[in-house]
Each structure stands twice: as structure tokens, then as C-alpha cells.
Amino acid sequence: MPLDAQIPSGPLAEKWDRHRFNLKLVNPANKRKYSVIVVGAGLAGASAAASLAELGYQVKVFCLQDSPRRGHSIAAQGGINAAKNYRNDGDSIFRLFYDTIKGGDFRAREANVYRLAQISNEIIDQCVAQGVPFAREYGGGLANRSFGGAQVSRTFYARGQTGQQLLLGAYGALMRQVGQGRVTMLSRREMLDLVVDEGRAQGIIVRNMINGELETHAAHAVVLATGGYGNAYFLSTNAMASNVTAAFRAYKRGAWFANPCFVQIHPTCIPVHGTYQSKLTLMSESLRNDGRVWVPRQAGDQRPPSRIPEAERDYFLENKYPSFGNLVPRDVASRNAKEQCDQGKGVGSTGLAVYLDFAEAIQREGQAAILKKYGNLFQMYEKITAVDPVKEPMMIYPAVHYTMGGLWVDYNLMSTVPGLFVLGEANFSDHGANRLGASALMQGLADGYFILPATIGGYLAQTPAQALNPDRPAFVEARQASENRLARLLAARGKRTIDDFHRELGLLLWDSCGMARNEAGLRRALARVPEIREEFWRNVLVPGTSAELNQSLERAGRVADFIEFAELMITDALARTESCGCHFREESQTSENEARRDDANFSHVTAWEYQTAAAPVEHREPLAFENVTPSQRSYK
């Protein structure tokens, strides 16, 4: 089957308009005859669910937290991009499009990214109307700040908690629909399988996490907004419950998985400090606006930072990339930090950290001004490390943060399973091989507020509005498969804990499929993962039963999927022998150790099709660049 992305014809700037005009509409009176399931209630899921309900569809929303206000979008700190050009600094929709597609190292679709830039402005309007308390200038207008990978100031923010404020806006919109009876909200439910019947996504199997009961839900379309898979690495900046299960189950039911090896490793996180560590904490990229990244010039220099004179410090990003300095994109900043540490210049007790220093900014602007911008981030840092960044530079190190890969979707955000739509981080669509800061919130909300509500109508208009029957064999089979799987997890009663397996998998991925990858390492990992999987199912220890609130069982199911999914990630990383964005293949670098893309052979999206008893089949969607010319990214 050739991959048809359904990209509309016509000039770039007119594609989305034309497409919306050409989409079939569902008559307002008929909308209530259609039901839609939305899985996940982060930015993408909540905004989609609220908007679909406003249109008149019957919506059921599922999330695994106790409330839809807790999706991990809430932890996004820095901001959200939009091409408003409020600063009059030369920004435009085309520039936001260009920065985003260049930032993604030319591995995203032009049409999608352009649409994203167009919609960015409507998102800000929408969120302001909802009462999101964005930062303001004295005159009452919206304030902006700069972010990595851009030379204009286009990021809208609410202190260091923009994600929280945007999510609470979407959550409010969602709860308004719940209050009006247009949305049924089912929290503490975990999706265990997708039901594909008559060739279309028609429902899901969920586990009620309070009493353990399996539930079957049917609908005319299923929307996954279930986030990314960064927790495959065990340690990441993701929330503890973030997982790949919903997306991976959909993959096993026929949705192809695109670019799974594209994993963003964020440069500014609090370094690892012990084996008991359960997660890594991000320090917003916005800190790089005022913080200067440095290491001692001399490898092995053990002096405290205050004792290292200016001349003996290497501000390596400023020196190497004079035009972007500390604001280079995330992949470049991360790789350079790793390079410094590999040369023995890392700081702190583990040597796996670099400094992020605010001394100069504090001297320039005063402590109060800096605290106003970053106070809550400084506080968060101090809580975790007991060090005050006003007095001593922060120590930071890269950590797994965001996954650009995800389920393959066409321009309508529909996967290869008809009726299955995928939004936000769970899809692969807009960030190519590297996501720029402040564009995840933009994409999640573009998908949820504006794109899906338009495109889902095009699908439903051609789908019969018949009553659905959850007793059909496809539902019964999916439910039985979920039940069997839970029983198998509980039956092993082995000797190793779930986290023990997860930690092993995470280390393997970090070492072989992390900031730098090479063929030998990937092959070793690919041989090792099936051994971990085999032992997991034989020797995992899952206490309790399935008919109760059982957090171990929840985790075990997620880790089982991460293990299987890891194979797919590694397979994808092996197949892509070029370097691009986050994906740095050591075999493919320039003489200056920058990533060397191979446009002749890899200007495509790789989408993997699941096979029951064989290796996944690789499909390619070629990427055509008609409006920008892919260039070697240079931030010097």
C-alpha cells in the first residue's frame, strides 16, 4: 500500500483553506448521531474533546489520572510559539514555518508545518479568550520571549508554567462540556486495546483502574492523544505514568508507526544523582535566554565554579556558535554538552553535568528582574538540589524529553487505520527530527482545537451513523486478549521487580539509542532486547490481582509494551544510516562533528507496519520540499 498523506494541491499558503472547503461536512443535526472516543486529556485530547462537543458530537474522554487536569502537558514550562509579530522584529507565518521545518532538520512535511504556523495565531486568540493569564507588558499587551532555534521573539508564556495554564484553559473548556452533558468523562481508565471492526476503528478496551474491570466502549471514531514514549528509557522528564501502550496497541492493530527513533534529548535537565532515581526534572529552555553554558577549559578541573576564573572557562556554545550562542536548538546543545563531558570536562560529582550560569544576567539586570522571569524554576532547582542558582551556577545535563516519532498520520491526522486519529505528541507529524522549544504546546493545541474538528467531519460524513454493537466478535476478541495478557503478567510470579526490568531496558536504550548511535551498538541492543523480553514474561514479579486497584499491574503492562517497542525504535535507528536532528549516527558526521544529513537517501518518513510473526515491514513516505531548500543546518 503506498503511503498517501492526502496533502492538498495548490500553493502552500492556500492548502489548508482549500482542504477545509473540499472536506465533506456533517449536517449540524446529524452530528449528535456520531460518537467519538478521545483517549488522553492533555492539551491535544482536552482541546479536541471540548471542540468536538461544542460542534455537537457525542464525546467520551478517557484518561488514566484521577482528573483530566493532570495530563503531562501541564509540566511544559517555557511557552508557546505564534507568528503574531507583536515585537515587529520581522516574524511572519512563513518565518515560523521556516524555523520549525529547519529546526526539524528537514524531516517534516511542508504542508503540515505551514498549517501549524498559520494556526499558531488563532491558538493565542483562543487561549486569551479563555482567560489564560499570559505574561503582559505594562501597556496590557501580550509579552514575548525568545527560544532556542529562532532569532525572533515569538514565544508567549505564563511564568515558567505555560503548559499548566494552557492545559487548565483546555480543561475548563472540557469541563464546561461535561457540565452540559455533552462529554462523558471517564478518568482512571487505561486503554488496553483498540477495536478494529469492518476495517475501521470502532472502539477501545479500557481497564477501570479502581476496580480492575475491563470495559468495552464503541464509537464511530477513535482519537488517540496519549503522548509520547520517552519513558521507554526509564529515566526521562515525562510523568511516571506516561507510556506507549495505547499507541503501541494501535500499531499492533494496523496503525503504522513513523520515525520511532526520533527522540528529543533536552539539554537542560537536572543531572542524575543515584540509582534510586525515578525521573529527571527539566529546567526550561527559556533559561538559556539569560543563562550561559560553560565548563572548565581544563579537563578534570575539580575547583568549585566560583574559584574558576573567567579566562579558564569555556563558554562552548557561545564560542562554537557565535550567531545563536546559548540559543542553539536542543539537539545541538545536548550533543555539545555530551561532547564536553566525554572529554572529561564535565562537572559535579559524576562528571556528567555542565554549568548554566546566571551571574552575568543578574549583574546586568538585577536579581529581582531575573527572579521575576525564572523564580519558580530557581525554586524548583533549589528544592531538588539544595543549591541556590542565584549564588552558584546550575548544573545541567541532557535527558530524554520528547518524542518526535509517533503513529503515522496523513494531513487529516488519520492513521493507516480508518477512523483512528492521532493528535499531539502521539503522532509524528510536525517536528521532523527535532522539535524546537515552545512548539509542542502549539502543535497539541493546533491538532485539538482546529485541525481534528475540521478533518474528522470529512471522515464521519462518509461513515454510516448506525448504532454500534459492542458485542460483535472484534470487541469480544480484543477484550479477551486484554484479559489474557493481564492474567499472563500476574501468572509469572517471578523474582525480578517490574522497575528492575525497566531500568535495564532504559540503560540499554540510553547507551545504544541515545544522544549518539552507531551500528555495532544498535545491533547489540537489538539482540539484547528479545532476551530482556523473554525473561520479563517468565520472571517478572507482579503482586496482587487484576480485580483491584493494582499499580504494579498497571506498570507491568506498560513496561511489557516498552520492551517490545524498544525493538522497533532500534530497528528504525539502524535503518536510518544518516544523521539528522536528534538522530546522530556516528558514522555520518561532518569534519566538525556536526550531523551530516543524507538527503539523497533519507529524505523520507519511515513508517513501520506490524507483522504478527515476522520483522516489521518498512514503508517510506517521500518528503518533497517545494518552498524551502533543505540546507545543512548552521547555527554558527
Partner 1 sequence: MSDTIRLTLKIWRQHDPASPGALREYAVGPLSTEMSFLEMLDVLNEDLALKGEEPVVFDHDCREGICGMCGAVVNGRAHGPQPGTTLCQLHLRHFRDGDTVVIEPFRAGAFPLLRDLAVDRSAFDVVIAAGGYVSVNTGGAPEANTIPVPQAAAEKALDAAECIGCGACVAACPNAAAMLFVGAKVSHLALLPQGAPERDRRALDMVRRMDQLGFGNCSNERECEAACPKGVSIGNIARLNREFLRASLRSEEE
List residues with catalytic annotation: 330
b/e sequence 447-485, b meaning 16+ C-beta within 10 Å: bbbbbbbbbbbbbbeebeeeebebeeebbeebbeebeeb
Any contact of residue 522 with partner 1 (CB under 8 A)? no
Judge residue 307's burial from the number of C-beta atoms within 10 Å of its C-beta, 0-12 exposed, 13-18 middle, 19 or more buried: exposed
Nearer to partner 1, 210 or 624 (CB): 210
Contacting residues for 576 by C-beta, under 8 A, at least 6 apart: 261, 583, 585, 602, 606
Cβ 172 to partner 1, closest distance in Å?
3
Cβ 447 to partner 1, closest distance in Å?
12
Any contact of residue 489 with partner 1 (CB under 8 A)? no
Nearer to partner 1, 477 or 499 (CB): 499
Any contact of residue 449 with partner 1 (CB under 8 A)? yes
Tell me, what DSSP letter sits at residue 414? B
For residue 603, give the nearest of 626, 569, 587, 570 by alpha carbon.
626
Among 8, 23, 56, 65, binds partner 1 (CB under 8 A): 65
Any contact of residue 615 with partner 1 (CB under 8 A)? no
* Binding residues for partner 1 restricted to 340-369, rule: CB under 8 A: 349
Cell of 404: 518526535
* Binding residues for partner 1 restricted to 16-45, rule: CB under 8 A: none
Query: How many residues bind to partner 1 according to rule CB under 8 A?
Result: 81
Cell of 267: 539539554
Among 6, 27, 277, 601, binds partner 1 (CB under 8 A): 277
Nearer to partner 1, 172 or 630 (CB): 172
Any contact of residue 562 with partner 1 (CB under 8 A)? no
Q: Do the beta carbons of residue 293 and residue 354 sit within 8 Å?
A: yes
Nearer to partner 1, 72 or 220 (CB): 72
b/e sequence 514-550, b meaning 16+ C-beta within 10 Å: bbbbeeebbeebbebbeebbebbeeebebeeebeeeb
Cβ 266 to partner 1, closest distance in Å?
13
Nearer to partner 1, 151 or 379 (CB): 379
CB under 8 A: which stretch of 3-11, 199-207, 279-287, 290-298 binds partner 1? Answer: 279-287
Any contact of residue 274 with partner 1 (CB under 8 A)? yes
Any contact of residue 611 with partner 1 (CB under 8 A)? no
Any contact of residue 309 with partner 1 (CB under 8 A)? no
CB under 8 A: which stretch of 65-73, 109-117, 420-428, 514-522 binds partner 1? Answer: 65-73
Q: How many CB atoms lie within 10 A of CB 503?
A: 16
Cβ 535 to partner 1, closest distance in Å?
16
* Binding residues for partner 1 restricted to 193-212, rule: CB under 8 A: 210
Any contact of residue 47 with partner 1 (CB under 8 A)? yes
b/e sequence 342-365, b meaning 16+ C-beta within 10 Å: eeebbbbeebbbbbbbbbebbeee
Any contact of residue 172 with partner 1 (CB under 8 A)? yes
CB under 8 A: which stretch of 48-56, 196-204, 524-532, 565-573 binds partner 1? Answer: 48-56
- For β-strands 58-62 and 183-186, DSSP reports them as parallel
Among 28, 90, 140, 464, binds partner 1 (CB under 8 A): 140
For residue 475, give the nearest of 185, 99, 192, 139 by alpha carbon.
192
Among 19, 72, 182, 338, binds partner 1 (CB under 8 A): 72
CB under 8 A: which stretch of 224-232, 287-295, 497-505, 611-619 binds partner 1? Answer: 497-505
The residue whose grid cell reads 565554579 is 305
Q: Do the beta carbons of residue 210 and residue 188 sit within 8 Å?
A: yes
Among 491, 549, 617, 624, binds partner 1 (CB under 8 A): 549
Q: What angle do CA 522, 523, 529 make, to 5 degrees?
A: 85
Q: Do the beta carbons of residue 285 and residue 590 sit within 8 Å?
A: no
Cβ 34 to partner 1, closest distance in Å?
18
Q: What angle do CA 154, 160, 164 make, to 5 degrees?
A: 95
